[in-house]
Structure 1
Amino acid sequence: MMSENGELSPDLHAEIKKLCGDGDLLAESGHFEDAVAQYNKALALIPFPKNDWEAATWILAAIADACFLSGLTTSAYEALQYAMTCPGGIGNPFLHLRLGQVLLDDGQGDRAADELMRAYMGAGLEIFAAEDARYLIFLKTRAEL
């Protein structure tokens, strides 16, 4: 499963990428539940402890995104919280964006503002371009951008 240098074996990496690719295609066509099922299969292949692996970070980001886009905010929150414990999680603008959105939708304005500001600081206004305008409008009520 793992090579001597602490990386996933090429075969395992390829299988994980295939499952995630299948999940991405499903998500792009709006089949979020099926996409999450594919992502979960990929996540299951990551050795324990899962949050030692960079692959877990991007799989959890995909799970969180699909859950968020389908309105499953509790599942999105859980995936985002786990992703933040993985390599590169903290400081990842996309993860901070989604976490801020989930928190704002849950009525947690102060925490949401903090996460949305982290997304803005990491990626600028562009990260909000394809998102519902209300998130950026909210952030502008908390900070001068």
Structure 2
Amino acid sequence: MICDEGDALSEDGEVEQAIKKYLTALKLVPLPKNEWEASTWIYAALGDAYFTNEEYVQAKDSFFNALNCPEGISNPLILLRLGESLVECGELDKAKEYLLRAYMLEGYEIFSEEDQKYYELIKDIIGGY
């Protein structure tokens, strides 16, 4: 599958090539794309690749698209990455909202392997230390 190829490329650090694979996979999804579960995962993978590549506006857009696909709104990883992308775009108020949603679904654990600056943004709101 094209997405598997994209995942392998991303893991190998070939993020630009991974992005091309994900975009190719997305083109194969019928319209309207937001009605297909496959779109949720493709947009999320695309967002991750953009985030890794420090293309934060594209990452944000991809995660917003994933959010509007089946089960996207309840996916803690999508919420986390969207929040992180918003931080990097300087949209801190919006970022806090999505970081809080991720925290409410998964607790601190979802932040455990992330840059702690993201958790620090919501720590006072949730009463964390």
Cα distance in 2 for residues equivalent to 1:81 and 1:109: 16
Cα distance in 2 for residues equivalent to 1:78 and 1:123: 23
Cα distance in 2 for residues equivalent to 1:27 and 1:109: 28
More contact order relative to length (CA 8 Å, sep ≥ 6): 2
Q: Quick one: which of 57, 64, 74 aligns to 1:74?
A: 57
CA offsets per residue over residues 36-78 of structure 1, 9 Å max, x none? 1111111111111111100000000000001011100011011
The answer to whether the 8 A contact 2:22-2:45 is kept is yes
The two structures have a TM-score, normalised by structure 1, of 0.84
User: How far did residue 143 of structure 1 move?
Assistant: 2.5
Q: Which 4+ residue blocks in structure 1 deviate beyond 2 angstroms?
A: none
Structure 2 gaps of 5+ residues are none
Structure 1 gaps of 5+ residues are 1-17
The two structures have a TM-score, normalised by structure 2, of 0.93
Q: Which has the higher helix share?
A: 2
Aligned partner of 1:31 in structure 2 is: 14
Cα distance in 2 for residues equivalent to 1:107 and 1:60: 21
The answer to whether the 8 A contact 1:64-1:77 is kept is yes
AA aligned opposite 1:58: W
CA-based RMSD of the aligned residues comes to: 1.1
